[in-house]
Structure formats: C-alpha cells, structure tokens
Amino acid sequence: MRAVRLINILTTLQAKGLVTAEALAAENCVSVRTIYRDIDALSLSGVPVYSERGSEGGYRLLDGYRVRLNGLSPGEAEAMFLSGVPGAAADLGLGSLMAGAQKKLTAALPEDLRQSAARMQGRFHLDAPTWFGESERPTHLQAIADAVWNCRLVRMRYRSWKAEKNREAEPLGVVLKGGAWYMVARVDGDVRTYRIARILDLLVTEERFERPEDFDLAGYWTENTLRLEAELHPNTATLRVSKWGLRLLEHISPSYVRARMETEKDERDEDRWIVTLPCGQVQHAISEFLRLGTEAEVLAPDTLRDAMRETLERLAGFYGRSVS
C-alpha cells in the first residue's frame, strides 16, 4: 500500500505543482505525519522533492523532473486504456492525439502491464449510441470544441422545435449523450443546452469571455437531465399488465420512469400486476403504451383511458372492424 501511496504523491506533485501536506494526507486518507515520512522516504531514494515554507507553502518537485508511469497496478493500466471513446475523440478532432497519447503511455509501461492493457483493449469495446441509433457528426462540432477550449464567444443560427433563432452564446462545455452531441452554453446570463446538429450557421468570434470558475459541467448535466426527464413525464398513469407486459414495460421505460415505478399484484387476477408510473402528455403516453399491445390495459387517468379507446377505434377502422 505504501508503494501505491508514494506513486500517488509523485503523480499529484507532478500534475499540480505545489501541494500542501494536508492536501496530500486527505487525498491518500492518511495522517499528515505519515505524509512527512513518505516525503522523507522519497528524498532518500533520490526523488528531487523539496518544501516551501510559509502560509502558502507545501511540497513540489524540482522543475523538469518527470515521473515514469511504472508504479501503476495492472488494474489501473487496464482502466486507463478502457477509458474514453475513440469515435468521440475522432469527431472532436482529437483522434490522432489520443492514439499518440496511448502509444506514449504504452512505451512508459513495463512489459507485463503493456500486455495487460492490450488484453483490455482486445476484450472490451464501448459503442456509445443505442441500438438502431446512429451517432451524430455535426458540422460545427470541432469549431465549438475549439471555442469551448479557448473561451471564445460564438454567434449561431439555431433551429429549435418551434422556430429558428439567432443566438450569441458563451460555450462552456460539450456533452455526448446517446450518440448525440450537445453544447452547454451561457446565453443572456442563463446556462442552456443546445443540440449541435441543430446549429445551422456558426461564427466563432475573436471575442473572449470569462468562464465561471464554479461551473461544474458534469453536475449541471446531471441536474439538467433530471429536470428534463421530469418535464417529459409530468403525469401519472396506472396500468394493469401481464407478466410479459411488466417485463416489456421495464425494458422500454427510461431509467427515470423505472426508478419511480410502483408495482403490486392485481387482487382480481393473480397473473397480472397493477403498475403506477410517470408518463408524458396524452399523445406521448398513447404511443408508449401501444407498444405493449394486449399485454397492458390503461386504468387511469380517465382522460388517457378514453384517448386510448379512441385511438384503438380509429386503428380498427383502418382494418374494417369496430372495437366493441
């Protein structure tokens, strides 16, 4: 365990520069006294680590010193080669950089870890888009990624569900979700999400903006996703489903709905279940529940039940029969 901790201390110092003993202790879940002993051990072994005293002091490595990655465990080496999405990197214009980085990392690893990393790449592959869905490669993706990196203001013509609008935006991040690319940007002081494939025209200006220091892209995306899911499922429906219908329902429902689904045995029919779950507006709910066929019956609300009956009557009319 100490060897792993020493490597972690070295890589932390290399990545961050000046680091306090307290910060190193918190990161490694040990006492400050233990960090003092580790620093002494590194110095005795010839690692050029030295301290800076004062209220803003800490430890740093001698300028120019670099740590070779030969302290990685097999699992860590495997995980590093499994991380990332090669296709996404290529879409962003970073494919060659990723390939080059992996070659350099491979060269820095001992022989046994090279074999372990190669085995991981040969046995696991990440394909981000869903089945029967194609990954988008928007025209303006690389330009937006560059604007995000360099904090450049962009002007765009964007096609939303309702209309086309001109927007001036401060791009804060890029997200790949289910094969689709999104730009998270600040517009008129508010942070919003734009699907990059719907950007019709784009101009990356020379004007720079100040990125909010406290903006957390991952946190924003998680919160925004939950909010969107709630907006898409504002209503509640109750269904009577068969065993197979319940399995279908659990399979086709998004995670937001599955997490809030309540199921109990039907007292009138031991082969069926009563399921209460969030659903969208009437037309959206109809399209979703029709996928269950005869394995499900909508019990409530009455408006949805009536809409389902009317839809089935119209369908029956297409085939020359009425629904009794």
Query: For 2-61, CATH number?
Result: 1.10.10.10
Residues forming a β-bridge with 298 = 239
- Model pTM? 0.64
Q: Are 67 and 11 a contacting pair, CB within 8 Å?
A: yes
CA dihedral 222, 224, 230, 232 (to 10 degrees): -120
Which residues have C-beta within 8 Å of that of residue 220, sequence separation ≥ 6? 173, 184, 191
Residues forming a β-bridge with 322 = none
Which residues have C-beta within 8 Å of that of residue 177, sequence separation ≥ 6? none
pLDDT per residue as tens, the chain (324 positions): 566 678 778 878 887 888 999 999 988 888 899 999 888 888 887 788 888 887 778 898 887 776 665 555 666 655 655 555 667 767 777 666 666 666 666 666 666 666 776 776 677 666 766 666 667 788 999 999 999 999 999 999 999 888 999 999 999 999 988 788 999 999 999 999 999 999 999 999 999 999 998 999 999 999 998 998 999 999 999 999 999 999 999 998 988 999 999 999 999 888 999 999 999 999 999 999 999 999 999 999 999 999 999 999 999 888 886 555
Query: For 233-318, CATH number?
Result: 3.30.70
Q: Which CATH architecture has domain 141-222?
A: Roll (2.30)
Query: Domain residue spans in the chain?
Result: 2-61, 81-123, 141-222, 233-318
Please state whether the peptide bond connecting residue 171 to the residue before it is cis, i.e. omega within 30 degrees of 0: no
* Residue labelled with tokens 């950089």: 97
